[in-house]
Copies of this chain bind each other. A is one copy, B any other.
Amino acid sequence: MPASTEWVLHCATSLAQLDERASASTNQLAEYFDLPRAYLAKQLKALVKAGVLTATTGPRGGFRLARPPAEISLLDIVEAVDGGADPYECREIRQQGRGALSAEACRHTCVLAAKMAEAHEAWRSSLAGVTLAEILDQIPDWAPARTRSILGGG
Instruction: Tell me if B32 and A99 are in contact (CB < 8 A).
Output: yes
Chain B minimum-CB-distance residue to A31: B98
Q: Find A112's partner among B74, B112, B115 (CB 8 Å cutoff).
A: B74
Interface string of A114-154 (1 = CB under 8 A from B): 01101110110111001000010011100000110011000
A34 beta carbon closer than 8 Å to chain B: yes
The distance from the CB of A87 to the nearest CB of chain B, in whole angstroms, is 4
Q: How large is the interface on A (under 10, 10 to 19, 20 to 34, 35 or more residues)?
A: 35 or more
Residues of chain B within 8 A (CB-CB) of A59 are: none
Instruction: Tell me if B99 and A6 are in contact (CB < 8 A).
Output: no
Instruction: Tell me if A6 and B122 are in contact (CB < 8 A).
Output: no
Instruction: Tell me if A74 and B115 are in contact (CB < 8 A).
Output: yes
